[in-house]
Amino acid sequence: MRNASAQINAVGASNPSLNNSLVGTQDLLNGLSNLNISSLISLSPAVATPTFTPFPTTSSRFSSAAPSPQASKSNREDLTDVQKTVARSIGAVAIAGIVLGVIVVVVVIGVLVVIIRRQKTAPTTARTTTIMSTTPTDIDSNTYKRMQDSHSSTSAMTASGGMWDDPVIIAARVPMDRIQIGALLSRGGYGEVFHGVYRGTEVAVKRLLPGTSKDLKHINDFLAEIKLMASLEHDCIVRFVGVAWDALSDLSCIAEFMHGGDLRSLLSKWEHEEHRSRGLDHSKVRIAMHVTQALTYLHSLAPIVVHRDLKSKNVLLDSDFNAKLTDFGISRERSDATMTAGVGTCLWMAPEVMMGERYDEKADIFSFGVLLSELDTQQLPYAHAKTTKDGRMLPDAALLQMVSIGRLRVHFSEGTAETLKELGMACTEMNPSDRPTAPMAMYSLQTALRSLRL
């Protein structure tokens, strides 16, 4: 009893919040420790010594004679037996009460120990839960700082949520130290592309611009592009190799290297350096057909993938002039109820996109029609309308306004086959439903290509 009392006193002293709850238990122990059988006997009303009066016989009612000695002795023996019986009963009750009290005390102490242990572990758990629940999934871009090593960088990326823990991204990750970064190849509005080498093979390494590499929105958009590229597999789409990073600022998309450069650079070279004749010859139609093959693949996926930024700069060529689509930075699966964001490069943009109206994969078809005109003339779209009759240069905004209302259409050279002209004009119809599908455009080009071989 004294040991149990001492344990409870120690628990109360180390846990003030439980002290009040322990007072009752302490009192119970003190009472049990002072309890003894004699006190129980003296205090119990049921154990008072009875007084026995012998029942008188009939003859003794009228007699004053004292009872016989044998009767008195018998009464005293009976009294002694009763007292012994009562004492044994009280002793059993007292022992049972003490045992029960000890059991109760042990149970109480056990419960208190469990409570104390939970209180000791609860604050740590609560703090951890609070940290996890208050970690934002959308962190302001200004909070991002360059991280020096892969472990800390990866931990921060995972904590920020988003796509860092996406299984596609994780499976596509390659060691950054295996990639040799070379010369800068090109720079765009949001990213730049470097020549690189990975496992002895030339690759293109795309990164965000230094000014955008710490912005969470641009990082997540870049990751979305990488994930989309990882899911695409077609001969007319630039092959995805992997993704690498050591820090947020050097997130890199690794893709196959296209030795022929981009179509815009090639057309400019043909026009200004080689003075190649305009028109849609066999090589140009072949390039156009490769583009429609890529669009046919994208538009056949479930859900449909809309490139949304089809232009000559995003068509890459290998050394044999095989064309492949690239730059899926603003591509989107057509899962939205409406797609109204004005995205893409203005001169190749469909009127419905310019006007902020709902659009679908037919916006890519319009852009292809503009690209077909560009292949023909070797000049930027609508170059024929850039200069007015009085020699003034129209700004792009004025050109786009005329395109959006149908007053300006694409232009084809006089030597181009009528079937190809008709295809280009059909692709750039104002009404999207009047434009052909990608497979229809591909079939027309295949037919034209066969005729050009003859």
**Least confident among 65-74, 222-231, 252-261, 283-292:** 65-74
Question: How far apart (Å, rounded) are the C-alpha atoms in residues 316 and 220?
Answer: 25
Question: How far apart (Å, rounded) are the C-alpha atoms in residues 183 and 305?
Answer: 32
Smallest Cα–Cα separation from 442: which of 283, 293, 297?
293
Tell me which residue has tokens 């820090």.
247
Convert the pLDDT of each residue in 402-445 to its tens digit.
999 999 999 999 989 999 999 999 999 999 999 999 999 999 99
**Least confident among 144-148, 164-168, 245-249:** 144-148
User: What is the pLDDT at residue 260?
Assistant: 96
334, 306 contact by CB (below 8 A): yes
Task: Tell me: cis bond preceding 16? Omega within 30 of 0 counts.
Answer: no
Radius of gyration for the alpha carbons in the chain, expressed in angstroms and rounded: 47
Convert the pLDDT of each residue in 36-70 to its tens digit.
444 444 444 444 444 444 444 444 443 444 455 55
Question: How far apart (Å, rounded) are the C-alpha atoms in residues 245 and 225?
Answer: 15
| pLDDT of 179 strictly over 60 | yes
370, 410 contact by CB (below 8 A): yes
Question: How far apart (Å, rounded) are the C-alpha atoms in residues 184 and 210?
Answer: 13
309, 344 contact by CB (below 8 A): yes
Confidence of residue 391 (pLDDT cuts 50, 70, 90): confident
Most confident of 134-138, 183-187, 384-388: 183-187
The secondary element (H helix, E strand) that includes residue 195 is: strand 191-198
Q: What is the DSSP letter of 335?
A: T
Confidence of residue 216 (pLDDT cuts 50, 70, 90): confident
Tokens coding 145:
């700082």
**Least confident among 185-189, 238-242, 284-288:** 185-189
Q: What is the DSSP letter of 118?
A: H
User: What is the pLDDT at residue 331?
Assistant: 61
User: What is the pLDDT at residue 59?
Assistant: 41
User: What is the pLDDT at residue 151?
Assistant: 37
Catalytic (active-site) positions: 309
Question: How far apart (Å, rounded) are the C-alpha atoms in residues 357 and 355?
Answer: 5
239, 255 contact by CB (below 8 A): yes
| pLDDT of 109 strictly over 80 | no
Confidence of residue 117 (pLDDT cuts 50, 70, 90): low
**Least confident among 102-111, 173-182, 244-253:** 102-111
Task: Tell me: cis bond preceding 303? Omega within 30 of 0 counts.
Answer: yes
Burial class (CB in 10 A: 0-12, 13-18, 19+), 237: buried
- Which alpha helices (H) appear in 135-248, and where do they start and end? 150-159, 167-172, 216-231
| pLDDT of 355 strictly over 60 | yes
| Sequence-distant (≥ 6) Cβ neighbours of residue 394 within 8 angstroms | 385, 386, 387, 388
Do the strands 305-306 and 323-325 form a parallel or antiparallel pair, or are they unpaired? unpaired
What number is the average pLDDT over the span 342-361?
A: 85
Q: What is the 3-state secondary structure (H, E, C) of 243-284?
A: EECCCHHHCEEEEECCCCEEHHHHHHHHHHCCCCCCCCCHHH
Tell me which residue has tokens 């090109």.
186
Tell me which residue has tokens 């893409």.
344
Residue-by-residue DSSP string for 52-88? --PPPPTGGGG--PPPPHHHHHHHHHHHHHHHHHHHH
* pTM score, whole prediction: 0.64
- Which alpha helices (H) appear in 282-327, and where do they start and end? 282-300
Count Cα neighbours of 24 within 13 Å in the Cβ-side half-sphere: 5
What number is the average pLDDT over the span 233-261?
A: 95
206, 255 contact by CB (below 8 A): yes
Q: What mean pLDDT, rounded, does the chain reach?
A: 77
Tokens coding 449:
């290509």
320, 290 contact by CB (below 8 A): no
Smallest Cα–Cα separation from 208: which of 242, 245, 177, 241?
245
User: What is the pLDDT at residue 32?
Assistant: 47
